Structure 1
């Protein structure tokens, strides 16, 4: 169940992050950005998850995905 939840939350977070960052990607890339962003955001914002619940985990996933997009644009896509 955790893997399915990670994919669903990651897909939603990736979709929001790519729209906020104005990045046009295909669906698998959007989902991958969201999943890896969820991992990054989940690790860095774990203490918020304990304090405020699952909503902070979603916010962390979106912020992590946005950070991943920023890093990719900064260092990879030239």
Structure 2
């Protein structure tokens, strides 16, 4: 279902992109540009979100470890 949505959105995106960039193209070319752009953009965005998700997990893990070290130094090591 995700690919179908990308195709539908891509058709609209192709129309908007050709108008914004002032390119005169027939309907088939406009839709093809939009669909290809949506597929490429969707894949790139998903890849970036995956990479950033893993990076966010690393940052969360480091922050969690820092909080535990602070708690350990403040309450346990003090005794």
TM-score by length of 1: 0.52
- Residue 13 of structure 1 corresponds to 13
RMSD between superposed Cα atoms in Å: 2.2
Structure 1: stretches of 5+ with no match in the other structure:
51-78
Structure 2: stretches of 5+ with no match in the other structure:
51-79
- Compared CA separation, residues 3 and 43, structure 1 to 2 (3 A): closer
- The whole-number CA distance in structure 2 between the counterparts of 1:29 and 1:49 is 30
Off by >6 Å, runs of 4+ in structure 1: none
Residue 19 of structure 2 aligns to a residue whose secondary structure is: helix
- The whole-number CA distance in structure 1 between the counterparts of 2:31 and 2:49 is 22
- The whole-number CA distance in structure 2 between the counterparts of 1:24 and 1:36 is 18
How far residue 7 of structure 1 moved from its aligned partner, in angstroms, is: 2.7
How far residue 5 of structure 1 moved from its aligned partner, in angstroms, is: 2.5
What is the aligned residue count?
A: 51
Q: Quick check: which has more Rg, 1 or 2?
A: 2
- Compared CA separation, residues 42 and 2, structure 1 to 2 (3 A): closer
TM-score by length of 2: 0.51
